[in-house]
């Protein structure tokens, strides 16, 4: 079982990195693989209550690879961390199977670690469902969920849930692909095709609304002008009766 899992981990790197030439190369030279392999025993120690040795092992991995994975995080099979320098995975983060992370990714927490009322360690880091991709430099913050197959573009800041199959980019992250991405692998989680700018789209919608409102106002003004009493012809005599009516 151990060797089968090890082979699966190696193959996941080779399948998602075209630069990888052999399993031996991945095993010897890929810091993402080293970090994941050191996380496994650290997590085993953590869940058995051996917190200090677990943290020591995770810090050793951080020093050797530049990738910081808290031993309390829950990570599924075949996690692929590409390049990896500066990647941080927090204590209550949950990562499904076949997830891809690039360098500089932060799965960070935004709330206190302990609920003051119940003294229970609360969930404060993100959950990435299976097949998610998080691009370089992206920050996924708080106890939110990136759905299965969700894509987070490079340098995005995600503070709300991302539905499965959607792709988000920007600060704060906005949806640019709302339909299912299918099995397409988006390098760095960033769509490269010509996509609508969410801000430009919002401005265009506001412009259309203003134009429609102006047209409506012009139509109302015209109707008021048409229903107003006709003006007296210039030079027409004013009779006492008319003067009384106009007075």
* Same-domain check for residues 155 and 211: no
Domain span at residue 225 reads: 201-246
* Same-domain check for residues 127 and 220: no
Q: Looking at residue 1, what is its pLDDT?
A: 75
**Boundary of a domain, candidates 173, 193, 213:** 193
* Same-domain check for residues 226 and 186: no
* Same-domain check for residues 184 and 210: no
* Same-domain check for residues 67 and 152: yes
Q: Looking at residue 239, what is its pLDDT?
A: 55
* Same-domain check for residues 95 and 214: no
Residues 6 or more apart whose Cβ sits within 8 Å of residue 236: none
* Same-domain check for residues 118 and 11: yes
* Same-domain check for residues 29 and 104: yes
* Same-domain check for residues 154 and 217: no
Number of domains in the chain: 2
Q: Looking at residue 188, what is its pLDDT?
A: 64
* Same-domain check for residues 156 and 226: no
* Same-domain check for residues 208 and 139: no
**Boundary of a domain, candidates 148, 164, 193:** 193
Q: Looking at residue 122, what is its pLDDT?
A: 82
Q: Looking at residue 227, what is its pLDDT?
A: 82
75-84 pLDDT per residue, tens:
999 999 999 8
**Boundary of a domain, candidates 172, 193, 214:** 193
CATH number for 21: 2.160.10.10
* Same-domain check for residues 184 and 223: no
Q: State the alpha helices, DSSP H only, in 48-165.
A: 51-65
Which parts of the chain have pLDDT scores under 50?
A: 241, 244-245
């Amino acid at each position: 079982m151990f060797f089968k899992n090890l082979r699966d981990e190696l193959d996941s790197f080779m399948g998602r990195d075209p630069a990888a030439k052999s399993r031996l190369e991945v095993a010897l030279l890929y810091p993402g693989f080293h970090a994941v392999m050191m996380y496994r025993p650290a997590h085993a120690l953590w869940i058995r209550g051996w917190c200090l040795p677990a943290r020591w092992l995770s810090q050793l991995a951080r020093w050797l690879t530049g990738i910081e994975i808290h031993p309390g995080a829950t990570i599924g099979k075949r996690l692929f961390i590409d390049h990896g320098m500066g990647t941080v995975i927090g204590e209550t983060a949950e990562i499904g199977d076949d997830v891809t992370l690039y360098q500089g990714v932060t799965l960070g927490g935004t709330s206190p670690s302990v609920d003051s009322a119940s003294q229970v360690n609360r969930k404060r880091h993100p959950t990435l469902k299976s097949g998610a991709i998080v691009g370089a430099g992206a920050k996924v913050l708080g106890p939110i969920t990136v759905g299965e197959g969700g894509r987070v573009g490079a340098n995005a800041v995600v503070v709300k849930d991302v539905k499965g199959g959607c792709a988000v980019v920007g600060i704060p992250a906005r949806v640019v692909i709302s339909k299912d991405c299918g099995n397409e692998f988006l390098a760095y989680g960033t769509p490269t095709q010509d996509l609508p700018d969410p801000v430009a789209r919002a401005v265009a919608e506001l412009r259309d609304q203003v134009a429609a409102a102006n047209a409506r106002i012009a139509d109302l003004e015209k109707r008021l002008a048409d229903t107003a009493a006709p003006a007296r012809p210039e030079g027409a005599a004013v009779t006492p009766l008319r003067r009384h009516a106009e007075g």
